[in-house]
Amino acid sequence: ETDHFTYDPGFTSTGSCESGLTFIDGDKGILLHRGYRIEDLAANCSFLEVAHLLLNGELPNKEQKAKFDHDVTYHTMVHEQLSNFYRGFRRDAHPMAVLCGVVGALSAFYHDSTDINDPHARMVASFRLIAKMPTLAAMAYKYSIGQPFNYPKNDLTYAENFLHMMFSVPAEEYKMDPVLAKAMDRLFILHADHEQNASTSTVRLAGSSGANPFACIAAGIASLWGPAHGGANEAVLTMLNQIGHKDNINEFIKKAKDKDDPFRLMGFGHRVYKNYDPRAKVMQESCHEVLEVLGVEDPLLELAMELEKIALSDEYFVDRKLFPNVDFYSGIVLKAMGFPTSMFTVLFAVARTTGWVAQWKESIEDPQAKIGRPRQLYTGPTERPFVPLDKR
């Protein structure tokens, strides 16, 4: 505690805003969006119903759902000139690097929805971001593998459309499996929002200066990319591949516990959950379902389950209440569906855009909102006399 402010590195005990979107009880492992359990939403809703809930406060009735689906779907295409922007990137660029660039560039294409003081412009920007993210993400993938971009198809659902844009080629349409489309949709729901995590706080902080929504979401994407946050889903798969075999698990557990070793078990631990992440449970079930439908036996799933079992019976992880988080099983689902590892965090970004946008809108509409401006503990030299260049 200083005279004027509290020192709180990592903001472990700082509430930065009021929000009516998402509630987490970390000790009980409960996650609610506007009062509804994540498990219920994942089992019974479409992703766009959850997006409606987050943005507008209530689950839509049939008419509201049809209107909301239409309002989002209307914006799925991106400005044709934006495709030139992709062509400036190296083909081997990480798709998250590409996404940071193209989403930031949206404000250069959609001038008519950048006025944050106009409620209609805020709504249009929100629809545009939610609608265009799958298109932009799929374009990043297509560019990386040298295939032509696919235009969206608005008679498909949000998840189906994404699968189509990712995997259809002019010579052959992607064969849509309803179970896989549902799994994709569920994965989007599970990642939609999670209160004041690093990327959402970044979006709010960027927005607090009055920056336009496209720029704010680009800031969120950059923050999400790190392996301690959304980049963990990619890191989990890399880690499982490195472990390679059940016999090597103990060696990696030992490394994760060693304070002199930077290695940590990816997909384990959470700032807020000190009990099982409820999303990880749904994701694990989804994982079994997807592998069964595809008839895939992925030894990485066996390995992940064994790793979880061993870690959860180890004193170190038990004492620190380190459980699998949402990212632990998602990579195995995505891999089975044909997504390359480098796209995993991109998928997280597609889903989280809804939460970012809803939180950005809430913050702009908050009468108490102020520019975010943390203080610091200064650790540099005290005041000293200036030394001219020839005396240094």
Task: Tell me how far apart the alpha carbons of residues 357 and 12 are, in angstroms, rounded to a whole number.
Answer: 24
Q: Is 49 in the site for ligand SDX (CB under 6 A)?
A: no
Q: Is 267 in the site for ligand SDX (CB under 6 A)?
A: yes
State the residue number with the nearest CB to ligand SDX: 269
Q: Which is nearer to ligand SDX, 203 or 336 (CB)?
A: 203
**CB 350, CB 96: distance < 8 Å:** no
**Nearest approach, Cβ of residue 73 and ligand SDX (Å):** 26
Task: Tell me how far apart the alpha carbons of residues 368 and 357 are, in angstroms, rounded to a whole number.
Answer: 19
**Nearest approach, Cβ of residue 269 and ligand SDX (Å):** 2
Sorted by sequence, the CB contacts under 8 Å of residue 254 that are 6+ apart come out as: none
276-295 b/e (C-beta count within 10 Å ≥ 16 → b): bbbbbbbbbebbebbbebee
Stretch that binds ligand SDX, among 45-53, 79-87, 181-189, 324-332 (CB under 6 A): 324-332
Stretch that binds ligand SDX, among 56-64, 117-125, 267-275, 301-309 (CB under 6 A): 267-275
Task: Tell me how far apart the alpha carbons of residues 76 and 137 are, in angstroms, rounded to a whole number.
Answer: 12
Sorted by sequence, the CB contacts under 8 Å of residue 22 that are 6+ apart come out as: 31, 32, 33, 34, 193, 194, 195, 355
Cα–chain-centroid distance for residue 108? 24
Main-chain phi, psi angles of 169, to 5 degrees = -130, 155
Stretch that binds ligand SDX, among 57-65, 70-78, 229-237, 280-288 (CB under 6 A): 229-237
Task: Tell me how far apart the alpha carbons of residues 215 and 189 are, in angstroms, rounded to a whole number.
Answer: 24
Q: Which two tokens stand for residue 316?
A: 């170190």
Query: What's the DSSP call for residue 155?
Result: T
**Nearest approach, Cβ of residue 279 and ligand SDX (Å):** 8
Q: Which is nearer to ligand SDX, 127 or 344 (CB)?
A: 344
Q: Is 232 in the site for ligand SDX (CB under 6 A)?
A: yes
Q: Which of positions 291-320 make contact with ligand SDX (CB under 6 A)?
A: 320
Q: Is 29 in the site for ligand SDX (CB under 6 A)?
A: no
**Which of these, 234, 188, 227, 110, lies nearest to 353 by C-alpha position?**
188
Q: Which is nearer to ligand SDX, 38 or 82 (CB)?
A: 38
Q: Is 357 in the site for ligand SDX (CB under 6 A)?
A: no
Q: Is 234 in the site for ligand SDX (CB under 6 A)?
A: no
Q: Which is nearer to ligand SDX, 262 or 295 (CB)?
A: 262
Q: Is 186 in the site for ligand SDX (CB under 6 A)?
A: no
Query: Left if phi > 0, otherwise alpha if psi is -120 to 50, otherwise beta: which for 76?
Result: alpha
- Residue 184 corresponds to which amino acid? M
Q: Is 274 in the site for ligand SDX (CB under 6 A)?
A: no
Please confirm, yes or no, whether 270 is among the known catalytic residues: yes
Q: Count H helices, E strands: the chain?
A: 17, 3
Q: Is 282 in the site for ligand SDX (CB under 6 A)?
A: no
Q: Is 265 in the site for ligand SDX (CB under 6 A)?
A: yes
Q: Which two tokens stand for residue 112?
A: 């008519």
Stretch that binds ligand SDX, among 144-152, 179-187, 266-274, 384-392 (CB under 6 A): 266-274
Residue of 69, 185, 277, 327 with catalytic role: 327
Residue of 270, 314, 366, 390 with catalytic role: 270
Q: Which is nearer to ligand SDX, 150 or 353 (CB)?
A: 353
Task: Tell me how far apart the alpha carbons of residues 249 and 317 are, in angstroms, rounded to a whole number.
Answer: 14
Please confirm, yes or no, whether 327 is among the known catalytic residues: yes
Q: Which is nearer to ligand SDX, 160 or 362 (CB)?
A: 362
Q: Contact residues for ligand SDX (CB under 6 A)?
A: 10, 194, 197, 228-230, 232, 256, 264-272, 320, 322, 325-327
Positions annotated as catalytic residues are 270, 327
